[in-house]
Chains A and B, each alone.
Chain A
Amino acid sequence: MISKKWLQVAGVAGVVPFILTACGGNSDGGDGGDGGSELSGTIAIDGSSTVGPLSEVAAEMFMNENSGVQVSVAQSGTGGGFEKFCQGETDMNDASREIKDEEIAACEENEIAFESVQVANDALAIVVNPENPLECITVDQASQIWNEGSTVSTWGDVDGIDVGDLSGEDITLYGPGSSSGTFDYFTDAINGEEGVIRNDYTDIGEDDQAAVVGVEGDAGAMAYIPYSYFTEAGDAVKPLQIDAGDGCVEPTLENVQDGSYTPLGRGLFVYASDVALQEQAAVDFMNFYIENSDQITETAGYVPLTEEQKAAANEQIESLTS
């Protein structure tokens, strides 16, 4: 008697979640929309958390027109994404830097050929608290602060920087983790070698917003963040002008596009594997990404491609598919 009931109860307990899921799945059969095209397939994208939101917008717009295609976007970081990409586990990889030699080797080992297409421009900004009177920083000064073995602990320790009352203030540093393309790019541009950086800064992993919150709440803080984060942050943080030897340059859309914002202006890329590009859906998606890049970059808050960059991207896609 007891055992019978017990069995029933156990059975119900096990089955309930699955009934729930099944119901959930069926309740929205009409969601598909009417793209009208017979294109179908799946595209798995992983990679940079900087490029991720951009690819999400592209994927969503693409799926609105092609309801048969399923695009998913994950954000493991540029390096974390390449690790999967080169094992053939994803179709495309978002990258906020170019692929590294050891990653190329890993891809070759698994016989995965790939091509990269630039999908947007981005800029890293060095940001400080709005209370900080500093307006412009040279690459040398930035390197003094961020380089491996740096002895700078207060603002007064940095050569040629006068921040008045804040001179005695500790510089609290925020930066992304080492699997981030943003980290690789910044260390290469500022410290001269990829991965070289002092090791006592606050590691925010892939969560760039944490740097904004950190800098906003601390008068002495400093961080480097992607373009979309400081444009959205408004007055919460202050982006510094960068002087790479030709005077101070502000991180504006125009300066990033024309290349005068150096060395922290960069391209954002999508890498596609040759296996993925044998599918028509993947090829169409890449074309769609470039054709609609103005709208996609604007929605996601990135710097759009210039006409020359678009032409170059189109050529690349053509060479991939022929």
Chain B
Amino acid sequence: MVIDKGKRPQRSRLAVAGARAATDSIFATSSRSDRIGNVLFRSLLLLGMGVALLGLVAIILWSLVEGAPRLDAELITEGPSSIMPESAGYRTAILGTLWVIGGVVLFIVPVGVGAAIYLEEYADKTRWWNRAIEVNIQNLAAVPSIVFGILGLAFIVRGPLSLGFVAAAGSFTLSLLVLPTVILAAREAIKAVPNSTRLGSLGLGATKWQTIWHHVLPGALPGILTGLILSVSRAIGESAPLLLVGAVTFVTFDPSFLEGQYSVLPVQIYNYAGRPQEEFRVLAAAGVILMLAVLLTMNSFAIWLRNHYENKNAR
């Protein structure tokens, strides 16, 4: 095919100018009611965003004001105390949350991405069972978390796995809860990798697996990480299923993954918020801020990774 290098830019310049003129002419002659409509629509959009932000800002402000007296180092370094709530902290709950969420990340990354690769790259979509799996994953994402808690209690804490009331059981339960989100996000990300990339790689003699590992996955990584960030954010705030699989409210010793009692931040905050004494409620408000900090710290790494790969792909 011969490409006429001289004419093409000129032709596109003309097209751009034409499009601009057409748009200008529409807006230049726009009637008063059109302009009002524009303003109205824009303020509706702003209102939507405002409502979404307002809730968040209200919670953060309230927690800051309420919890201000307790935003100190003891909040992190000290364990819970019912005798001295003024100097009690979330040490054991933070460690419990790190164990549980760490386990969730280790579990959902290989399993979730693996499932997404299978469904996108290998599964034959004309087979009914693959379609059934797809529909089920989408439905699983809408199952209430407490149901996963009951599942965890019956099959992970007791029953076949019999892990007991330990942090690992909490990890597995929360993993099951957020897996659908990870799989759905990873699938979309993999789907968005242009097919020409795959064909090019295959055409140069790479195997299917080499194509996926070297070209599809790096391209899909930012999308996969976004799904991961959403999932971890949801998992870290869950308390209902963890109450069922053994998160305890009062643990003064540092927890471990496979042994002994553990607590997590949301459960501890929930418990303190319901106490009759004022000191505990201040502590609960400070805990909300602390939990946001922990969440941001854990997610910032994934966000940094995502931006890193987005820039790389853009280059």
Contact = CB atoms under 8 A, between A and B. Distances in A.
Interface string A1-37: 0110010011001101110110011001000000000
Given A6-B221, A209-B274, 4 more contacts: A17-B98, A73-B248, A74-B248, A89-B165
B6 interface: no
A181 B102 CA distance: 36
B82 A57 contact: yes
A193 B273 CA distance: 32
A136 interface: no
Per CB-CB distance, the 9 closest pairs between chain A and chain B, nearest first, are A17-B102, A232-B276, A72-B261, A73-B250, A56-B82, A74-B248, A207-B274, A229-B276, A56-B250
Nearest to B250: A73
Contacts of B95: 21, 24-25
Contacts, number: 118
A52 interface: yes
Interface stretch (A58-66, A165-173, A247-255): A58-66
Interface in B44-84: 77, 80-83
Interface string B236-266: 0000000100111111111010001100000
Given A21-B98, A299-B82, A212 B248 contact: no
Given A2-B214, A17-B98, A21-B102, A52 B276 contact: no
B260 A10 contact: no
A20 B77 CA distance: 14
A46 B250 CA distance: 10
Interface in B260-315: 260-261, 271, 273-278, 298, 301-302, 305
Interface of B: 77, 80-83, 91, 94-95, 98-99, 101-102, 105-106, 109, 158, 164-165, 213-214, 217-218, 221, 243, 246-254, 256, 260-261, 271, 273-278, 298, 301-302, 305
B81 A60 contact: yes
A206 interface: yes
B98 A24 contact: yes
A13 B165 contact: no
A14 B250 contact: no
Contact of A2 (B218, B246, B251): B218
A42 interface: yes
B249 A74 contact: yes
Given A6-B217, A13-B301, A52 B250 contact: yes
A43 B74 CA distance: 26
A75 B271 contact: yes
A122 interface: no
Interface string A37-48: 000001010100
A233 interface: yes
A300 B82 contact: yes
A53 interface: yes
A257 B158 CA distance: 42
6 contacts: A13-B105, A13-B109, A18-B102, A28-B91, A52-B249, A208-B276
Give the one of B95, B243, B247, B274 with max A CB within 10 A.
B274
B302 A13 contact: yes
Contacts of B83: 57, 60-61, 299
A272 B117 CA distance: 52
